[in-house]
Amino acid sequence: MNLLDRRRFLVLAGGAAATTVGAQALWQESAAAASLDPAPFTLGVASADPDPSSVALWTRLANDPAAGGGMPDRVIPVGWEVAQDEGFTKIVKTGVAQARPERAHAVQVVVDGLRPNSWYWYRFTSAGATSRVGRTRTLPLAQDRAEQLRFAFVSCQAWAGGRYSAYRDLAEQEVDLVVHLGDYIYETAAGSLAEFRRLHALYKSSPDLRDVHARFPFVTVWDDHEVLNNWADDHQGSPDGTPWAERQSNAFQAYYEHLPMRTRPLGADWKVYRRFRWGRLAEFSVLDTRQYRSDQACGDGMNTPPCDAMYDEDRTMTGPEQERWLLDGLATSTARWNVIAQQTIFAKFDYDLGPGLAYNLDQWDGYPAARQRILDALQKHRPSNPVIIGGDWHSAWVNDVLADFDDPTSEVLASEFIATSISSGIGWDAAVRQGLPANPHVKFYEGGYRGYVLCDVTPDRWQADLRIVLSPGDGASAAYTLARFEVRNGEPGARQVGAADGIAGVVRDGTAGLINAEVLVRRADGTTMIRTWTDGNGRWHLFVPPGSYRLEAHAVGYGSAGREITVESGGTVDGDFTLEPIDGPFAGAGRYLPGPNAEGTGKDLVIGNGSVAMTVAAQFADPQLPGATAGKPINLAGIGHLDQLDWINLGLVATSRPTGTEAWQRGLVRCDQVAADEAAAVITSSGAAAEATGITVATRYAAADQPWIGVETTLTNTGTAAVTVWVGDAVDHDGPGQRSGVPGHGTISTPYANPADYRPTGPWIGMTGSDRQTYGIVYEDSEFTAYGNGNWIMSLREVTLAAGQTWTLRRRITALDSGTGTDPWAVLDEIVAAD
């Protein structure tokens, strides 16, 4: 065990329990960890941007990082040494740098005169203290054959997701360099220099991050969160009112002070795109897709339909100068592998499974003309083996980059690998998974884990290992290879090779794979550890620590299946299931309706048949419906789909007409009894209207061999006087791309803040999303007013009940695949026409 590895062992063995846990305890680390980075070198050491004869070195003096540095307000000399060996018996370069207070006492040194393709060790000294020993290397000469390059690329390391166990795993690898593609920190509202300095110091409090920097040279470039979420050239605002140029300048300055760089920012201007070459083997073009980009179009959203402005030919992700630099480099490169290292996803991804389009407009999808210019250059100049690497989206991807993404059979021009985040969480995993069938060029996707990509490159092949950790906040979390892909020289397109660690399988209906089946891993106590959903071919994979578990598979329209499994270290556990179609209607507890938003538990009641299933709350309580969730639908999905429903405020009874943005929450009914008759496939609930005194409400859900569930709600006036109430139902869809529909008005996409009245021409209200599933409530008649917006929709009718009178509202609830046509509501009209 060499000196560096021994020191790492001390940190991991002695410091794991005592490392920092937050901003209030930044530097309360173990003695072993502190000895690695003693004051004033508490932020560690780093190297970056090597070339064949030089490398940039960095440290920052900080006696008290949590208090702004704690250094005297004067220039402090810092000695540095570079040696050919870890013991510094062969010192080749020395010097003295000046740590200046106006630069937060950061030290930047470019050491030249080094041998190509060689490892070196370096350290700093100041006032009798010596930093830890860092290790770095130079690049091969451009004309060298260079038989192998082993590197990793990373992105997105939100502090809230730490303590960076993915970096611990990376530090245990042997790589030549690390490419960091952005989101090194995550900004706050404050735009001051002091705040950006505080954030960088906070992130450097991770011993695992400092360790990786000390082990390998980095090539770093920012994305958005180093400055402000989704910023673009000439951004107009800062949350705290700081002028934009000042915020950008402060962010750049702090970035420079905390990472080794060859150049310095000039206020709010800093050219950081650059190129480096690993002999004749690989050339990397490292892009800056923030500083020069056109502002995002069409509202700058995820899962957003395109608008005309998006297709403007002049829109750019890189700015004209950088774009020309990139295209010229691709046209003239003689390297075997040509790498475009950038921040986001380059390949097209349509979130809408129907005929519509929905994109993430902060990625290259929001800049189609700029992307096409690069695709045209790849097709025209044919650089050898183009590979695109990126991050940003907190998930692992492998994509074929097509000449024409609208034609899945078009030529594959390049391969794309996207690294999942080091620690940043993901809230859009389900939206991506459900969009996968519309994007066959996506060869692999997984958003459930944090990690990085480890690449091994030779003249004959590019191998990419997607490395993941199970718990990014646990410094001792086990690491696995999620998948391994290979691109062969001269053959564009990645191929999965070898078996992955963990559990993997296919959920089938006979011989065909089932899309959108849900697979659960349960602990011994019955709680869910992790879940995932099958792709368009029924495939799935998961990772859990070694141990014994229960594995289950569920799909709408099919009976569930499960078995006990044992997971061991290494290898793949067989997770195949064959599910049997449901024969006839059912109702009762103990079933499971799958979906990323599913809220029901085993104690809630599920009703359905081979076409549709719905959960009626018996125990689950939604804070949006205080004390009134019982008896209401909370999950709903059709065959081949997953639940996207929030809930249906079914059988609402209000004393005045509900209006306003919170109208969906009016007219609550509080049920005191919810029961299932399994033999009759019926669920019943009974209770009273919360607003209307003396009005009791009973609802009956009945399943038959039809793609819907029949519902009858009976109101009874138990008082001695007539009562006038507003009655109806409200539907809230929580899935991606949510939109409302009313017959005669088509799709409603009005802003959420402006609900409106809609007089229906047919007897239904509906909601849909980008998963090509339509939710509908079909009534016996159309004597009601629809009210709502793109976020929710409700039906309303005024009813007067005499003393002792009853009145019944009858309708059918359904969830249907809307098909590939342009009208997602046609399936509801078909139900009406079938009567």
pLDDT at 3: 33
Question: Which of 209, 30, 52, 58 minimizes the C-alpha distance to 122?
Answer: 58
Is it true that the peptide bond before 751 is cis, omega within 30 degrees of 0?
A: no
CA dist 533 → 117, 447, 666, 753 (Å): 46, 11, 35, 33
Mean pLDDT in consecutive groups of 10 residues from the start of the chain, 835 residues: 32 29 40 76 98 98 94 98 98 98 98 98 97 98 96 96 90 97 98 98 95 98 97 90 96 98 96 98 98 92 90 97 98 98 98 92 97 98 98 97 96 98 93 91 94 98 95 84 95 87 90 93 92 90 88 96 90 92 94 89 94 96 92 96 94 96 95 97 98 97 95 97 98 90 92 90 96 96 95 97 98 95 94 87
Give me 403's structure tokens: 């000449």
Torsion angles phi and psi, residue 153, rounded to 5: -130, 145
Supply angle C-alpha 352, 812, 788, rounded to 5.
55
Amino acid (one-letter) located at 605: L
Q: What is the DSSP letter of 185?
A: S
| DSSP output for 520-564 | EEE-TTS-EEEEEE--TTSEEEE---SEEEEEEEE-TTB--EEEE
Task: Specify the residue for token string 């390049």.
Answer: 414
| β-strands 518-522, 528-533 pairing | antiparallel
Sheet holding 645-654, edge to edge: 645-654, 723-733, 792-801, 785-788, 756-758
241 Cβ neighbours under 8 A, 6+ residues apart: none
> What's the burial of 590, exposed, middle or buried (CB within 10 Å: 0-12/13-18/19+)?
exposed
Question: Which of 525, 464, 527, 547 minimizes the C-alpha distance to 498?
Answer: 464
Provide the 3-class DSSP secondary structure of residue 198. Answer: helix
Give me 147's structure tokens: 């038989």
| β-strands 386-390, 412-418 pairing | parallel
Question: Which of 289, 284, 288, 307 minimizes the C-alpha distance to 297?
Answer: 307
Cβ atoms < 10 Å from Cβ of 135: 17
Distance of alpha carbon 401 from alpha carbon 376, whole angstroms: 12
Distance of alpha carbon 205 from alpha carbon 383, whole angstroms: 42
pLDDT at 557: 95
β partners of residue 776: 766, 814
Q: What is the dihedral of CA 669, 670, 673, 674, to 10 degrees?
A: 60
Amino acid (one-letter) located at 749: S
Distance of alpha carbon 491 from alpha carbon 821, whole angstroms: 37
Task: Specify the residue for token string 């309706």.
Answer: 593
Distance of alpha carbon 484 from alpha carbon 415, whole angstroms: 14
Question: Which of 296, 245, 304 minimizes the C-alpha distance to 269?
Answer: 245
pLDDT at 34: 61
Cβ–Cβ < 8 Å for 117, 145: no
Cβ–Cβ < 8 Å for 735, 597: yes
Cβ–Cβ < 8 Å for 531, 521: yes
Amino acid (one-letter) located at 208: D
Strand stretches in 49-173, DSSP E: 55-60, 76-83, 91-99, 106-111, 119-126, 129-130, 134-137, 149-154
pLDDT at 289: 98
Give me 641's structure tokens: 């789909």
| Structure confidence by residue, pLDDT tens digits, 538-547 | 999 888 888 9
Distance of alpha carbon 450 from alpha carbon 157, whole angstroms: 10
pLDDT at 499: 65
Q: What's the pTM value of the predicted model, to 2 decimals?
A: 0.90
Give me 29's structure tokens: 């680390």
| Structure confidence by residue, pLDDT tens digits, 242-280 | 999 999 999 999 999 999 999 999 999 999 999 999 999
